[in-house]
A and B are shown apart, each in its own frame.
Chain A
Amino acid sequence: MKALAISIILGFMSLTSIAQQEGTPLKGRVTDKQGNPVSGAILNITEENRIAVSDKNGNFTIKRYKDGDELLVTATGYLDKTSQVLDKENFTIVLEPDSEKYVQYIATPYTRTQKRFTVNSMSTVTGTDLEKHPVTVLQNALPGSVTGIATLEERSEPGWSETALFIRGLRTMNAAARNPLIIVDNIERDLSFLDAYPIETITILKDAAATSIYGMRGANGVVLVTTRRGEAGKTKISFNQEYGFQTPSGIPRQQNSYNYALTVNQARYLDGLKPLYTDEDIENYKQASSGTLDPSLRYKYVSTDWYDVMLRDLSPQNRTNLSLSGGNRATRYAVSLTYLRQEGVYNTKWTDWNEGYSTQHVLNRFNLRSNIDMDVNKFLNVSLDLGGRIDQISQPLSNTFAIFTFGSGENLPINPVFTPLGDFYLPNNSADKNAGALISSTGIDYNRRRNLYSNFTATGNLDFITPGLKVKALIGFDAYNTFQYQQSQNFDGFYYDPLTGTPDDPSSYTYVRKRTATVLANPLTIAREMSYNINTLGSVNYERAFGRHQLNAQVMMRTYQNVIEGYNSSTRYLTYGALANYVYNNKYIAQFSGAYSGSDNYAKGERFGFFPGGSLSWLISEESWLKNKNISMLKLRASLGRSGQAVTGVRRYPFQGEYVEGNGYNFGTSQNYSQGAYESAAGNSNIKWELSDMLNLGLDFNLWNQKLYGQVDVFKEWRSNILINRSTVPDMYGVAVPQDSYGKAETQGIEITLGHRSNIGAVKFNIQGMLTYNKSKITELDEINPIEDYQRQTGNIIQFFTGQNNLYYIKDKWASEEDLIATSHQDAIDNPSKYPYQGTMKLGNAVFKDQNGDRIINDQDRIPYGYTRIPELVPSLNLGFEWKGFDASVMLTAFLNRTVETRENMDYAGGWGGASTHEVTKTWGYFNDDPTDPRNINALYPRLSTTFSDIDRNYPRNQSDIWFRNGNFLSLRNVEVGYSLPVRVISKINMSKFRIYFRGYNLYNWSDFDNGFDPESPLNYIWAYPKTKSFSLGLNASF
């Protein structure tokens, strides 16, 4: 692949050199309006790649110039200029200064707006900035790049990575209604279609006035993606090659067999059981762990680090991108082709185990993007945008969960990888507990995805009716297909008891067969899935300035249709919308948007809602009394709007009840199954779309020419129509009671961006801080009066899991004195000094707070506690430096006010396979059972035990603050160091840019967790593919 990319590059270079065969050099000069020389301006001949750079006197020489060639001149701080040579002798090009405010446009829904005239709460990042993150999922590049968002990396394996994105936090109790809307080039799409290279900008639309135009889809905010389009004149070729590596960001190491044996014996001691391992065993395990064991005992005593067995240190990842853009006045194009290869973390010893094929987890991804614009005539412009993604994922057939959970996480260090006879070892109670075998010899699972997305747009220019009038029609067709096939395989797996038999004599052990080998089978094809979307958009636009008035308005109609193979009608939305932005005297801005939007989820006559939004803004810096060169921009904004959310996770037609066939009964002496039919769900005509009403106030400023710039937004949202369980319908109703659109919640928050840009001598630097904070509150839940008022959920924050009531036992202390433990409830009541009653409690068990003082610990002693796994507070800091071609940037992001669930097997997993991590040393009783030992008093986890008791490690008592931990962390999210060769040098080979760089992503975390636990998802090492960090070296060359 790489070779292909290079040959394409070379091809282009040779084409350009063929074109350079005729013509003579041209000399000239570049100046500003005052006649001062402009140095460093790049000149190139349109549609070719010969370039020149002006020197400090503004002079340049361009080779092989021929008459009629157009020159394009670009220089930082000036507007681009195209020029034809009229006077070869005294050729001077005069550049207009580019005062930012006149040219910067920002993508807004269905149009673009001059940045200074925007009125809503938005945060934008460019594709160039996103490229800095060597990630395969774009969402992961967003924290720290924009404000108002939080992410949760839910899955991390190549090709299956998923990162949930939340705009302005968790704002609804309905977990099925939280996804933001993703709009790519005006069409609702999936962000995973894209990589960073073809992206011009991503804009996060946060306030409801900005998203109301999306009607029933905009309530959770909108991610507005705009892809790059070609510009007339410049033919730009950009080539990017990156090589990098990924490595797990955290793997909690298991104890070696020596420490494990000690732990087991200590747990048994605390449980009053005899030791399992003798002193001799322990000594031998110690030697096995340190590698000093007498080889004759090697079959008997082993110490396996299953993560060492399973993982490799570095997994290669590489990426190649080739982007081309350019065109002439009539036709413009932008093309981007990316190839990504991402390999898994499995040890090559296992993935290369079989001759002829590898079982490594590998993602091969091709991303293609082609945007073409054509001016057919002066009345008609058409554009055709095509995008595609092909993913090929191959991985071991044994699923990731089994490999990590059984193969390693719950496996024991005393288990060998192989039997003395060289077969795979399997413990007696499992046919899965060998990561090496699962990776190497269970077969291969292949998954392929083919995605296509396309836009066809026609824009008619109706200036002849009235200047500024346009009509536009867009049809988008997206298709999604997945193909899967599997080739299964099996291995010989045997159990033997290492502690029996004569050491060093493989034949003295008894082998129990657990699995039998088979060779790689023929592929088994799994049914493929496909779906497609058809989107249409028709609009009439009007944009014109009259004197002091500027108006940009449009009316539109949009349809969305998603067709999935199967039982239901396609999903459809129909929206009529209107947008208007009016500016008076460059100072006062008013904007209105409204959508009349309908969804086919609802009954006829109840399908449509109206979603209006209005904003006002005042550009104070344009007022004559404030005009000041130190105040480049000062703007106040206010908006109020309503948007909706029709995806509520309920059945296809929630208003109607549903009966299904199934759940029959057997009658007759031969038990003939008699099919059943039953009411599977009751309908509820009151299920509606959620509504978000939001007020937003904002301030934008830029002082002393970016010495201090920033943006502040504060908002309050009133969310209503949230699906909840009503307290008025008892279970006596007789069938699952449908939820009702009755709940309400409020969220408020603030987003701040503050930046400084400056230079000290030749060192340019910038520093930018961002902060996102939001806090939600349930205001209406129609809640049943809880037995204890402190368990009321209304008024509390919204939980991540629907229905979970975030009630936790709170640990007071570890039981430390035997005579403080009551023998019965009555005893506890009669003798309050023997507080607290816990049933059969032992020293070192958790003593929970008796919240209601009834001297019994039960369900009613749980209280609301903690935050959710989605951070409320996300501060971040970006630093950048440039010096003589060198550049560096660092991004730090913290996820604060968050809590994460851990499990009772964090330390010693008596009930979960028995493995223990180094975390076990923080367990009560690990060293001794002296309750006065400070290591016990300060223990993080309750009493060590061979089994889980129901006191503090098992349901329901595991719902406690012991296992629900502070999830705050600070992440070194991004580091980039680069060096660009001087343009003066590379222009000689017609290059405009040549840069080499190092990039790192998620390089280090600071958190409350140690021993390798990743603070974002601390248990993913055991139950899922671990989160990774990555770094890469790359080069970028532009022509």
Chain B
Amino acid sequence: MKDVMKKTIINLMFLAIVISFTSCEKFLEKEFDASLSEEKVFNNPTLTREFLSNIYTNLPDGFGIYNDPQFLGASRDAMTDNAVSYWGLHYYTKIATDGYTSSDHPLLGFWNTNFNGIRKANQFLKYVDPNNPNNPDPSRSVISNVTLSGDDSKLRDRYVAEAKFLRALFHFELVGYFGAAPILEDKVLDMNDQASMNLTRSNPAEVLRWIADQCDQIKDILPFRYASDGNWGRVNGAAAYALKSRALLYRASALNNPDNNSAWWQEAAVAAKDFLDKNNSFAKPFILYPDYQKAFYETPYQNNETILSRSVWYTNAIETNLLPFGFSGAAGRTNPTQNFVDSYEMTNGKFIDEAGSGYNPQNPYANRDPRLEATIFHHGSMWGRADYNERRAINVSEGGTDYRGDHGGTFTGYYLKKYVNPELIMSDKKTFAHAWVIFRYAEILLNYAEALNEASTNGPEDDEAYKAVDQVRSRAGVAMPNLPRGLSKEAFRKRVRNERRIELAFEDHRFFDLRRWKAYEGVTAANEKTKPRYEQLLNIYVTSVAVAGGIPTYTGTGLNSSLQDDNIPLRVFNSPKNYYFPIPYNETQKAPNLGQNTDW
């Protein structure tokens, strides 16, 4: 009896163990998992649409940096001869003085941001574009493609085109900062296939050609402008035309066109012309905004000049970072240089150093291109809301309200006015709608003029190029005289480049323009001193103001003045090293096929 009981109990114990082993495996099963997977996202039309919206967050953003006033809060033109930012720790100071390495380089984030954008675009295209080779099921799509009236007709095709544009723009950014870049095409990199990630780079001209071709694929699929207010800010057909124009212009430029193949300039001219022709065929074309200063703080959608912008909208970080130091809460981080100020012509169309210009170094801001007053705060500029008793003259004299202090101020005598909304009340600091302009109409005109001139043998062959520049110069409120006709290729180049510098100042053009023109070739701090200051790239000039009896005396604005500031290190440009940023050091080790840029 006892033995039977023993056996029964032992058997029961074994049974219990067996049961627990089999049923308890289930103990580790997921109870629920509400997280999203790739499949869940692209099987759902709402999430798919949201995914596309998110890709837009990778658009270039010249204003986002203002959220880091310590290291980044200044215009990127502070990396050029246009401006400085006030302290030695500032990232742009390091870049403008070649004080960085491929492993200790503050702006290498551009590498990741753009590859992140490319990955997103390719993930999107993989599931939405029926022609994508990776599409697991091209026969089905969660986005409808029916013909409707309005913007949403053939919506799937439009979404595909938007994603392709964004992908092309991210490649363009890579070429701008890093030169040769991999063309990813439709590739979504797979971590389990590590060999596929050791990418090789295509030279810049090839990538730019690829970008232009991508634009060709989509430029007429996208609406040139959207009809619905709700689609304002989306990638449109005009942006594709504009990107193609810029890509081909960069491709034809000296940096990427070592053989100076003039057919490339021709292509660039045609691309710009295509934009202008297409634009003029619409009843409501893109036009120059009739007020140059307001064009940069006007509510973005009311500005018919903007082709594509990065949505930023309500903020006052731009104002508080730019306004002169003496306004409460202002940091005055971007300090334009005397070099830049000197580049503005007189209202008579002459450079300040030209005979008969009428330039007076002790009244240096009188009779200048009106865009100077619209772009720069100088000593004596009036600012502030009169109705709030905040209106006053900017005072950058030593010890003056807007002179430098422990945590800000100007080292050049100037502050940046562009983008600053004059409606700002310092005591309550409302926010204003801002958008970072990526493409605008004036740029296309200048692209066109530059390409036509460069494609010619001895200067523009007909009036087209002149008319394009004149159109920019004759904007309502700017009204600068037309360019003199019959300029040599060389002379026209100088004028159109200066026009670009002034018109597109602080819009992230100067950094790339100087490089694509190879403007630094043969330039040393010593040998450029014979040139006018506005043509000097490495020596940075400042102005200093002393006030006696209410009368300001300007030192440094004189034509031959060489006033510099010890606190502003000399700009350093090593050719060819500094034409491009280095590929991040770690990346070159992980993907050795990338190679490294010259001299890094």
Q: Which residues of A contact B (CB under 8 A)?
A: 462, 464-466, 471, 538, 540, 555, 557, 559, 567, 569-570, 572, 574, 576, 598-600, 604, 607, 652-653, 656-661, 663-672, 674-679, 682, 684, 727-735, 737-738, 784-785, 787, 839-840, 858-860, 946-947, 949-950, 954-956
Contact = CB atoms under 8 A, between A and B. Distances in A.
A659 B89 CA distance: 37
B115 A663 contact: no
Interface in B281-313: 301, 311, 313
Nearest to A560: B27
B104 A465 contact: no
B47 A677 contact: yes
Given A676-B50, A731-B590, A734-B118, 11 more contacts: A465-B6, A600-B27, A658-B35, A660-B35, A677-B36, A730-B587, A730-B591, A732-B587, A733-B115, A787-B585, A859-B104
Contacts of B415: none
B584 interface: yes
7 contacts: A569-B33, A604-B29, A668-B233, A669-B301, A675-B53, A734-B119, A858-B104
A465 B9 CA distance: 8
B111 interface: yes
Which residue among A669, A677, A784, A858 has the maximum number of chain B CB atoms within 10 Å of its CB?
Answer: A677
Contact of B28 (A598, A668, A669, A734): A598
A734 B116 contact: yes
Contacts of B5: 465
A682 B191 contact: yes
B123 interface: yes
Given A462-B9, A667-B232, A659 B28 contact: no
Interface in B8-62: 9-10, 13, 17, 20-21, 24-25, 27-38, 40-41, 47, 49-51, 53-54, 56-57
Interface string B178-196: 0000100000110100100
Contacts of B463: none
A665 B103 contact: no
A6 B584 CA distance: 71
B341 to A, nearest CB: 26
A570 B31 contact: yes
Nearest to A740: B191
B230 A559 contact: no
B598 interface: no
B104 A956 contact: yes
Contact of B590 (A664, A784, A839): A784
Contact of A732 (B27, B29, B182, B313): B182
B199 to A, nearest CB: 6
A735 B119 contact: yes
Given A674-B53, A732-B197, A784-B590, A569 B31 contact: yes
A860 B446 CA distance: 44
Contacts of B89: 950, 954-955
A659 B41 contact: yes
Contacts of A949: 88
Contact of B50 (A674, A729, A955): A674
A860 B585 CA distance: 12
B112 interface: yes
B38 A667 contact: no
B36 A658 contact: yes
Which residue among B31, B53, B56 has the maximum number of chain A CB atoms within 10 Å of its CB?
Answer: B53
Contact of B313 (A557, A598, A666, A947): A666
B36 A731 contact: no
A730 B586 CA distance: 8
Contacts of A735: 116, 119
Nearest to B2: A464
A301 to B, nearest CB: 24
Contacts of A674: 49-50, 53
Contacts of B199: 730, 732
A659 B54 contact: no
A607 B25 CA distance: 10
B406 interface: yes
Which residue among A538, A567, A660, A678 has the maximum number of chain B CB atoms within 10 Å of its CB?
Answer: A678
B50 A572 contact: no
B54 A677 contact: yes
Q: Which 9 A-B pairs have the closest CB atoms?
A: A734-B119, A676-B54, A659-B36, A859-B104, A677-B50, A569-B31, A665-B56, A730-B590, A669-B301
Given A471-B13, A859-B101, A727 B590 contact: yes
A671 B231 CA distance: 9
Contact of A668 (B40, B231, B586, B594): B231
B47 A784 contact: no
A726 to B, nearest CB: 8
Given A669-B301, A734-B118, A664 B311 contact: no
A676 B57 contact: yes
Contacts of A555: 17
B234 interface: yes
Which residue among B27, B28, B31 has the maximum number of chain A CB atoms within 10 Å of its CB?
Answer: B28
A208 B590 CA distance: 36
B9 to A, nearest CB: 6
Which residue among A598, A664, A729, A733 has the maximum number of chain B CB atoms within 10 Å of its CB?
Answer: A733
B259 interface: no
Nearest to A540: B13
B452 to A, nearest CB: 35
Nearest to A576: B21
B456 interface: no
B244 interface: no
A828 B265 CA distance: 44
B120 A679 contact: yes
B229 interface: yes
Interface string B71-108: 00000000000000000110000000000010110000
B191 A737 contact: yes
B589 interface: yes
A263 to B, nearest CB: 16
Contacts of B25: 574
Given A659-B36, A733-B189, A678 B233 contact: no
B30 A661 contact: no
Contacts of B112: 731
A840 B189 CA distance: 45
B54 A678 contact: yes
Contacts of A785: 589
A659 B88 contact: no
Contacts of A572: 27-28
Nearest to A563: B31
Contacts of A734: 115-116, 118-120, 188-189
Nearest to B228: A668
A732 to B, nearest CB: 5
B191 A684 contact: yes
Contact of B234 (A557, A664, A667, A678): A667
B50 A661 contact: yes
A840 B88 contact: yes
Contacts of A557: 17, 20, 24
B108 to A, nearest CB: 9
A659 B590 contact: no
Nearest to A682: B191
B47 A668 contact: no
A672 B47 CA distance: 17
A459 to B, nearest CB: 15
Contacts of A858: 101, 104
A946 B406 contact: yes
B36 A660 contact: yes
Contacts of B198: 730
Contacts of B115: 731-734
A674 B406 CA distance: 42
B311 A671 contact: yes
A784 B592 CA distance: 11
A8 B233 CA distance: 76
Contacts of A954: 89
Contacts of A599: 28
Contacts of A737: 191
Nearest to B102: A787
